[in-house]
Structure 1
């Protein structure tokens, strides 16, 4: 990520915008999407590490851009993200918009450069296609935000685009980076994404702002559908366990299948919120 920023943080660039770019992506969160991407590439016998590294960086940049935009006053109007002020609170709303836009452009630049450097133009083109499809319309994260402006929400389409889209990108792009067909990997990404959405709903309902690192109760505040409201806390946890089991079962046959299953199990343990005492009866 630091190397990626080095391409745009030059002396002739606007200083405040350069600072805002670093602020938006460093030190970062769990980096789960690039972790999944690199794990899938490795499971497929990664034969082009420079390409998979570029894909992982591009994916994380798109994710960070989506968070910057998601926090803006026109959407969630959030004050904190990852335990610190959001970009628009720290640097101003105009710079936050430009930060998100710049990160998106940088993501695609990284993929194009990787294709040129590795003489792997076809893979780079496939990576650009996957990432753009999972970022825009009709089924990417832009569509997820768009659903929040509709009077009636298709819950599955909403969750698939808002949260699952970039997880689908992570498994597809991991396979593409290693020269494999991305289609068999779509279900794994979709299920992991669905699991993370349910886990996020649980964290929003169960944790306080200090533990969560961002404002709590956002689903209720903005009238958004969520698993806890539909299933209750215990029902949502049971649903999460079922989704994760399905994700492991969906892993396509590949040389690193066993190691990939272990990675999914580790992530499952990490995202399962601990029940407060009031629910442990």
Structure 2
């Protein structure tokens, strides 16, 4: 089974668990709506690539680690789109969940996906309790406060914003989770993998800032120009378009250099290089010229 199929099968199983028993039908439907279609699935893909590079000796743990991160990510998108935050109408080319199901069900869907992420990890705890507990710890740190995606969203309510801390929490947190959890699932220490996740996360944020500034809603499948409209901090506002592109290239070069020694390092280097090439679409580069 290839990585994409592995991820989709595991996510399908997790959502089915949430829809089982006597689950409210509309909420059960909203859970599926929130995670499919799934976009690039870059976070779980990165997690599994790291696990494979480190040996992937317990695939059930690796799968659980990967999809727990994706479930948290999908939850964050549901919440981010709501009127109290970005008030976005479109996500992944279709109506945002609160537009399709209403705000109460959107809030409950996001909450359900967060709890599902942790439940997935707990369910495979018997495979290796020590590793599973560490996976739960990392996911908790990168979801909540002060270093997780909740902190990232919280920075938008501050008058003075630390752009580095904002980016590291809002976008970098789940990429750090992906690299660290992939390593831990395969029996390796988490700490050496933080820099790689941090750098890839920052690169994705800079790329997202560029796309938001340069592409259309049709190109992105979600509203464009939101950083400027909502007066949010961005790499483009701080550095300009060309400065942001230069910064993106610098970050990804550092990401490759930061990959720790592991049996599959060469393959992981190739994966990161391909990711860098896909970060900013040609349309955005053309728009910048």
- Determine if the alignment matches structure 1 residue 279 to structure 2 residue 288: yes
Match of 1:22 among 29, 32, 55: 32
Gaps of 5+ in 1: none
TM-score by length of 2: 0.94
Query: For 1:107-147, what per-residue CA distance to the aligned partner results, in whole angstroms no more than 9, with x for missing partners?
Result: 1111001112x2x1111100000000000000100000110
Who is 1:110 aligned against?
A: 120
- Determine if the alignment matches structure 1 residue 181 to structure 2 residue 194: no
Distance 1:269 1:137, change over 3 A: same
Distance 1:134 1:5, change over 3 A: same
Query: For 1:203-249, what per-residue CA distance to the aligned partner results, in whole angstroms no more than 9, with x for missing partners?
Result: 00111000111001111111111111111111111110010000000
- Determine if the alignment matches structure 1 residue 8 to structure 2 residue 54: no
Q: Is the 8 A contact 1:202 1:273 kept in 2?
A: no
Distance 1:188 1:277, change over 3 A: closer
Distance (Å, rounded) in 1 between the aligned partners of 2:186 and 2:269: 18
Runs of 4+ in 1 over 6 A off after TM superposition: none
Deviation, 1:43, is 0.6
Query: For 1:27-60, what per-residue CA distance to the aligned partner results, in whole angstroms no more than 9, with x for missing partners?
Result: 2110000000000001111100111001111110
Aligned length in residues: 278
Deviation, 1:278, is 5.2
Alignment map for 1:40-55 (pairs within 5 Å): 40-55=50-65
Distance (Å, rounded) in 2 between the aligned partners of 1:136 and 1:43: 28
Gaps of 5+ in 2: 1-10
Match of 1:258 among 235, 243, 266: 266
- Determine if the alignment matches structure 1 residue 228 to structure 2 residue 236: yes
SS in 2 for 1:8: helix
